[in-house]
Amino acid sequence: MKEKLLLFITLLICLSVIVIHNIAIHPWMLDDAFISFRYAENFSQGHGFVYNLGERVEGYTNFLWVLLLGLGNIVGINIIVFSKILGFLFSIGCVLLLINSHKFIKDIDRNVSVISALLFGTCGIFTPWASSGMEVTMFTFFVLLSVLFYISIKNSKGDKYKFCSIGIICALSALTRPEGLLIFAIILIDLLIASIKNKNKDFLYMIASFLAIYLPYYIWRYMYYGYLFPNTLYAKVGISIAQLSRGIAYLLRFAIPSLFILIPALIALLTKRWIRKYNRLYLLPLIAILYVLYIIAVGGDSMPAFRFFTPILPLMCIISAMSISLLFKSKQVSMLVVALIVFYNLIQLRIDREIYRHIANDKVALYGREVGIWLKNNTPNNTVIATNTAGSIPYYSKLKTIDMLGLNDEHIAHRDIRSFGKGGAGHEKGDGVYVLSKKPDYIQFGSSLGSKEPVFLSDRELYRISEFHDQYELKVYNLDSGHELLIYKRKENIE
């Protein structure tokens, strides 16, 4: 009875923090989420997985998320509402997995599960994603489930159904985010080594079930889009020292709000007693370390709340919880330490630059909604717009859009940028000459409300072209909210 009460209180605390935090940041949603919404809506209406009708560009990296939202829309569920429902359900799922992690990992006890859940469920690197519209909580759930389930079945020799199941879970993870392939590869190599040592073929069951799901998808996406990798990778990732430096800086910023989760975890890796007791759980720190190296390699991320670290945060919390449990033999002392860490987490929800200020100041999707609706109501259906706000404005306007940052534009994404890696992740590419050649009816500099002065690369290049100034004029429109929309409109009678 006491155990059930403890688990219930833990769940209640975590869910309360998640709900209260998401109410506090309402109506915040990420503009990038609306890119997925646009693909999902077009799919649900029979146009395929496309951004602009008739153009096959893979401007998303969350196929399963887009598919689920599209299927929901087919049966009449609003895409935005459905994204929030799924976001909260998978958030709850993540917390429940951690609370019950001792049932998967026999080397840890109930207290470790409770501590890890409290560390995770109160951390602002996880909490805001429930209502963001993004696939973050779903991917985190599949990553955590795949690792916990694999650890629980690793020694189940010859149980083909269990090893087929882990392959299926890994496939769902890889369909949600490409990083799922990294998790699959690490687990597969570990299982392969174990299979060779034990002279069995368990790894074959995992490979077969994974490929049965993932291979048909990959063949389809390659034939559909024509590239080995998503268009977003070409738009966001390069190879440069500057990109690595940006990734390291991203890691250092992440360390501030997660400081007292990381410190016990790092102590664990350096403590012989921890290693002796939990040596069979080497996979937890191994996955965390390799994933961090991946994050550094791709140069981090520009979105708030350290999105890229969220999927491995549960593993860090488990490691940290094991360390706290080992370092402090008294349950009272260990829970006092946990209470202090939880308090620190809660403070970070209101003071950390990326968790609080970045989200509080992020009005891109909110203003983009109003701008998109205005464009829909005040321009013809065949209007073509060029914008850096590739999510909310196109989603609400329903107009053909040139994504000037290149996430949804093949040409811009594949353009070589000499200084790549020195700017913000996902905001470095552009091509002013190319955009002008498309003769859009409207060109918008800056973000969702527009700007007179150029901000991003396409803006700056356009502004230096004399033909742009000859063909376009700045217009200022008053929106119902009182905000002004600044946008360049193509002059009439221009060939």
Q: Alpha-carbon distance 85 to 88, whole Å?
A: 5
- Quickly state the pLDDT bin for 198 (edges 50, 70, 90): confident
Cis peptide before 440, with omega less than 30 degrees from 0? no
Task: Please list, residue by residue across 421-449, b when 16 or more beta carbons sit within 10 angstroms of its beta carbon and e when fewer do.
Answer: bebebbbbbbbbebbbeeebbbbbbbbbb
Distances from the Cα of 316 to the Cα of 103, 118, 338, 473, angstroms: 18, 12, 14, 53
Distances from the Cα of 272 to the Cα of 268, 276, 316, angstroms: 8, 6, 18
- Quickly state the pLDDT bin for 271 (edges 50, 70, 90): confident
Q: For the CA atoms of 347, 352, 355, 360, what is the dihedral angle to 10 degrees?
A: 100
- Quickly state the pLDDT bin for 418 (edges 50, 70, 90): confident
| Confidence at residue 405, expressed as pLDDT on a 0 to 100 scale | 96
Report the predicted TM-score, pTM, of the whole model to 2 decimal places. 0.96
- Residue for token pair 């359900």: 89
Residue 272 pLDDT greater than 80, yes or no: no
Helices (H) and strands (E) in the chain, counts: 24, 5
Own/partner contacts of 152-159, CB < 8 Å, gap of 24 or more, are 152/103, 152/104, 152/105, 152/106, 154/190, 154/191, 154/194, 157/198, 157/200, 157/202, 158/200, 158/202, 159/202
Mean pLDDT score of the chain, rounded to an integer?
Answer: 94
| Confidence at residue 425, expressed as pLDDT on a 0 to 100 scale | 83
The answer to whether the beta carbons of residues 133 and 33 sit under 8 Å apart is: yes
| Confidence at residue 357, expressed as pLDDT on a 0 to 100 scale | 93
| Confidence at residue 240, expressed as pLDDT on a 0 to 100 scale | 85
pLDDT digits (tens, 9 = 90+) for 85-118: 999 999 999 999 999 999 999 889 899 999 999 9
Q: Alpha-carbon distance 479 to 396, whole Å?
A: 15
Q: For the CA atoms of 209, 211, 215, 218, what is the dihedral angle to 10 degrees?
A: 90
- Quickly state the pLDDT bin for 495 (edges 50, 70, 90): low
Q: 127: Cβ–Cβ under 8 A, 6 or more apart, which residues?
A: 17, 18, 21, 22, 91, 121, 349
What's the token pair of residue 418? 């000499």
The answer to whether the beta carbons of residues 305 and 359 sit under 8 Å apart is: yes
DSSP, collapsed to helix, strand or coil, labels residue 56 as coil
Lowest mean pLDDT among 38-52, 229-243, 268-282: 268-282
The DSSP string of 332-344 is HHHHHHHHHHHHH
Q: Alpha-carbon distance 239 to 253, whole Å?
A: 22
| Confidence at residue 494, expressed as pLDDT on a 0 to 100 scale | 64
The answer to whether the beta carbons of residues 108 and 101 sit under 8 Å apart is: yes
The answer to whether the beta carbons of residues 84 and 137 sit under 8 Å apart is: no
Indicate the length of the chain as a whole number.
495
List the 442-443 sheet strands across, edge first.
400-403, 384-387, 442-443, 484-490, 472-478
CB atoms within 10 A of CB 218: 15
| Confidence at residue 1, expressed as pLDDT on a 0 to 100 scale | 57
CB atoms within 10 A of CB 352: 22
pLDDT digits (tens, 9 = 90+) for 308-360: 999 999 999 999 999 998 888 788 888 899 999 999 999 999 999 999 999 99
| Confidence at residue 421, expressed as pLDDT on a 0 to 100 scale | 81
Start-to-end Cα distance in the chain:
78
Residue 493 pLDDT greater than 80, yes or no: no
What's the token pair of residue 419? 């200084």
Distances from the Cα of 206 to the Cα of 49, 157, 193, 215, 311, angstroms: 29, 13, 13, 13, 22
pLDDT digits (tens, 9 = 90+) for 367-394: 999 999 999 999 999 999 999 999 999 9
What's the token pair of residue 36? 């997925």
Q: Alpha-carbon distance 386 to 363, whole Å?
A: 20
In the chain, pLDDT over 90 holds for what percent of residues? 83
Q: Which H or E run includes 442?
A: strand 442-443
Q: Alpha-carbon distance 451 to 488, whole Å?
A: 9
Residue 411 pLDDT greater than 90, yes or no: yes
The answer to whether the beta carbons of residues 368 and 31 sit under 8 Å apart is: yes
Residue 2 pLDDT greater than 80, yes or no: no
Q: Alpha-carbon distance 368 to 380, whole Å?
A: 18
What's the token pair of residue 312? 């491995």
What's the token pair of residue 217? 């998808």
Query: Beta strands of 130-175 (E only): which ranges?
Result: none
- Quickly state the pLDDT bin for 426 (edges 50, 70, 90): confident
Residue 283 pLDDT greater than 90, yes or no: yes
